Amino acid sequence: MTICDRKKEFARLYVENGGDGTQAAIEAGYSKRTAKNKQWELRQEPAVKEEIREQQIKLFTESSVKAQKTLVGLLDSKSETVRYNASRELLAQAGFSVAQEVKIEDSRSKKDLIATIKALLPNAGVEILEKEDDEKPRTTH
């Protein structure tokens, strides 16, 4: 479908301004007096409808690229929270999911669990330092 330059301009302005047809018609060069009716007529034309769709796709594509660049830029933020959220979003968009918190229930007593953990820690290269009665336990790697 061919479309004249003024109608293309109307479609571009219509998409850019968020759908204000009257304002887009005026800015595209149509009379202020007839702009309200003209914008309605234009939006009924198949060629103009198609141009509006193409302009929307173009705007969406450009916005998506800008959004991606913004997210990548946020990876260097001073805020750990901002960096974390940007990372999560980029990974999600790439199809990777970030593990959610998992709660594991175990029927063993606290004493048995502590003994099991103490037995496993040396294999992980972690040494348990004994604590004084008023200190929290410390570990070294």
Res. 135 pLDDT band, cuts 50 70 90: low
Compute φ and ψ for 4, nearest 5 degrees: -70, 160
The shares of helix, strand and coil residues in the chain, as percent rounded to the nearest 5, are 60, 5, 35
Q: What pLDDT shows up at residue 100?
A: 66
In the predicted model, what is the mean pLDDT of residues 113-131? 76
Q: Which run of H or E residues covers position 129?
A: strand 127-129
Question: Looking at the domain that runs over 5-93, which CATH code has it been given?
Answer: 1.10.10.1400
Highest mean pLDDT among 20-24, 65-69, 70-74: 20-24
Question: What is the reported pLDDT for 1?
Answer: 52
Mean pLDDT over the full length of the chain: 85
* Residue 129 predicted with pLDDT over 70: no
Q: Note whether 48 and 11 are within 8 A (CB).
A: yes
Percent of the chain exceeding pLDDT 90 equals 45
Residues facing 64 on adjacent strands: none
Q: At 64, is the secondary structure helix, strand, or coil?
A: helix
Rounded to whole angstroms, the Cα distance separating 133 from 87 reads: 42
pLDDT score, position 6:
94
Domain boundaries, the chain: 5-93, 110-140
